[in-house]
Structure 1
Amino acid sequence: MELWIPITIAAAFMQNLRSALQKHLQGRLGTRGASFVRFGYGFPIAILYVLCLHHLGGYSFPNLNWSFALWSVVGGLAQIFATMMLVYLFSLRNFAVGTAYSKTEPVQAAIFGFVLLGEKLSPGSVAAIIVGVIGVMLISMAKLPLSWRNLLVALTGRTALIGIASGAVFGVSAVAYRSAALSLEGPGPVMQAAVTLACVTSFQTMFMLVWMFWKDKTEIFEVLRSWRSSSLVGLAGVLGSAGWFTAMALQQVAYVRALGQIELVFTFMASYFLFHERVNRLELCGCLLILCGILGVIFS
């Protein structure tokens, strides 16, 4: 088994854990505060990770360049706004459906990867990704009676548009992060990914602190007050991001994000066991299609 596969599965699990914790925080901190904790409590761990790789793992520091800085800023800003859309989505629909809408990302990431990086996919992989996205659409319609009108609502309604936009912006951030890591041409994908993660999360923390200070200073105090639960979000977030960054330094973004749809399996478990949200047969069918798409990506 190629290394990027278990790394991606672990990253998907940590991302689901982070999203579940953020859903709990959203009611207390609001959309901006619940989004900030992912970066604000995560960047010290990301910096520590780089130092451990250097001093204990023997990796040298890569040389930073302007291309790296540009892609890091683009990816960092895209991830901030995509995260805020996703956290806001949780207040409109339940946890599982909110996450499902954002999982249209693999198709959009494949398009951005082709346009920006010239990355191509095999026909089998394209088919597998489409199967996974059909599964996502089934999940998004699961609570509605089957009809053309409801299909139109599921694809073009406010919730759908926010979710699909979130997936698109996540796709942009993923391609930007891969570009940033590859532009370092450093001592290996692990260190390149770690340095990218540390720089991006530090930038995101500074950007959001300035934004929150400008918009509503009380949000900063609320984030500090909830440091116990917020630090867990930061830890889960940075561990998940380390996995994503490393996997995307090893493999094309579309493949990594397609396999990352396994997060929805973890999401349904969290939705059922943590939030006591009911799961129906159509949602289970959608989940099975996503799993088929994931297996198709792996074997293709």
Structure 2
Amino acid sequence: MNPIWLPAALFGGLFQAWRTALQQRLRAELSVSGAVLVRYLFGLPFACLFAAAWLAILGAPVPPLTTAFLAYSSAGAVTQMAGTVLLILSFGHRGFVAGTAFSKTEAIQVALVTALFLDEQLPLLAWAGIIVGVTGVLILALVGQGVTARQAWKAFRQPAALCGLGAGSMFACAAITIKLATAELSGVDTVGSALVALVVVMAIQSSLHLAWASLSDRETLRGVKRSFRTSGQVGLLSALGSACWYIGFAAAPAALVRIVGQVEVIFTIAFARYYLRDKVRVQEILGLLLVAAGVIMALLAAA
């Protein structure tokens, strides 16, 4: 494994939590569709800048975009968008908490799929770290919101939870197909392949979302135009976060990157506590400790 995966996963979690905090402010100005669109549309110019700068530093040309690369990139773009749609649908079932919580099973789903189909075998300690970390996330999302164990089990059978699990599956598929896409690029290093893949994936996502909004949601486009200052910040953080995730996927097993990247929830709680002045509950402290323990176990397994 290329050791760059570790700082990439950690910074990916930081930038994603930071972007989420900014998007909370943006949601006062835009619809859900608009808040999602700015991630791709305003992130694309930054992604192009990152890729161009890195290739210029290396003195390397843009690598050939093979049919296999474009197929994997398209699959990654579409599955990531599908995951976002399923997550939003879970909110529509009055299940914001349950939907979000069960979407976080992505790390386990990535580990299972890559073990079965890509022969990415993880040490037992890494598997334990994944389970502990996901348990911590579920505690943060469910128990931390006052949901009892019985209610959590009941929620598992509700449409919100099923949509959340579906979202986790789609996000897992996106991580895997993006990893496969980066492996198809030749003549460029790990970082370069990840940044080129990011440009292509964001371009596909922007095109698809813009086409849909142009046909059926013109108001979203007008709202995005009005909020370009905040949207630009969200786009920058989105591009930075995705660049880190893509570099991590290209350099190490996707499941390992995702479990370490769950430090995102620690950063999110920190933003909520110090930026939004929210109080931290005892259950949330337990969840944070479990997430941290899962990350540490995964790091020890990779050492």
TM-score for both structures, normalised by structure 1: 0.91
Gaps of 5+ in 2: none
Deviation at 1:196, TM superposition (A): 0.2
Question: What does residue range 254-273 of structure 1 map to in structure 2 within 5 Å?
Answer: 254-273=255-274
Q: Which residue of 2 aligns with 1:144?
A: 146
2:122 alignment partner, SS class: coil
What is residue 44 of structure 1 aligned with on the other side?
A: 45
Q: Which residue of 2 aligns with 1:293?
A: 294
| Greater Cα offset, 57-66 or 220-229 | 57-66
CA deviations over 1:150-209 (Å, ceiling 9, x no partner):
131343344433333322211111101000001113321111101100111111111110
Determine the structure 2 residue equivalent to 1:249: 250
- Aligned pairs (5 A) from 1:172-191: 172-191=173-192
Distance 2:225 2:147 in 1: 44
Which residue of the partner structure matches residue 124 of structure 2? 123
Amino acid at match of 1:294: V
3-state SS of paired residue (2:63):
coil
- d(CA) in 2 for partners of 1:212 and 1:4? 36
Correspondence 1:30 to 2:31: yes
Task: From the superposition, tell whether residues 89 and 257 of structure 1 become closer, same or farther in structure 2 (CA, over 3 Å).
Answer: same
State which drifts further: 27-36 or 248-257: 27-36
Question: Contact 2:134/2:291 (CA < 8 Å) preserved in 1?
Answer: yes
Structure 1 residue 275, shift from structure 2 partner: 3.5
- Identical aligned pairs, as a percentage? 32
Q: Structure 1 residues 87, 27: closer, same or farther in 2, change over 3 A?
A: farther
- Give the TM-score taking structure 2 as reference length: 0.90
Secondary structure of 2:151 counterpart = helix
- Distance, in Å, in 1 between the alignment partners of 2:172 and 2:147 is 30
CA contact (8 A) 1:32 1:84 kept: no
Shift of 1:27: 3.7
**Which residue of structure 2 lines up, in the alignment, with residue 213 of structure 1?**
214
SS of 1:29's equivalent in the other structure is coil
Deviation at 1:276, TM superposition (A): 3.8
Distance in 2 of aligned mates of 1:24 and 1:156: 32
Higher alpha-carbon deviation: 25-34 or 220-229: 25-34
| Structure 1 runs (4+) greater than 6 angstroms displaced | 88-91
Q: Is the 8 A contact 2:3 2:251 kept in 1?
A: no
How far apart are the structure 2 equivalents of 1:232 and 1:87? 22
Structure 1 CA distance for aligned equivalents of residues 174 and 74 of structure 2: 9
Worse-superposed segment, 181-190 or 40-49: 181-190
Contact 1:100 1:136 in 2 (8 A): yes
> Counterparts of 2:121 and 2:298 in 1: how far apart (Å)?
14
- For 1:237, the equivalent position in structure 2 comes to 238
SS at structure 1 position matched to 2:29: helix
1:106 Cα offset (Å) = 0.6
1:280 aligns to what? 281
Cα pair distance change 1:9/1:99, threshold 3 Å: farther
Structure 1's unaligned 5+ residue stretches are none
Q: Distance in 1 between matches of 2:23 and 2:73?
A: 24
Q: Does the C-alpha gap of structure 1 residues 153 and 274 become closer, same or farther in structure 2, counting only changes over 3 Å?
A: farther
Q: Cα gap change, 1:143/1:53 in structure 2, threshold over 3 Å: closer, same or farther?
A: closer
How far off is 1:285 after superposition?
A: 0.4
The residue type equivalent to 1:238 in the other structure is A
For the 8 Å contact 2:69–2:182, the answer to whether it is kept is yes
Q: What does residue range 145-160 of structure 1 map to in structure 2 within 5 Å?
A: 146-147=148-149, 149-160=150-161
SS in 2 for 1:193: helix
Residue matched to 1:105: 106
Q: Counterpart of 1:32 in structure 2: which amino acid? A: S
Alignment-mate amino acid for residue 142 of structure 1? G
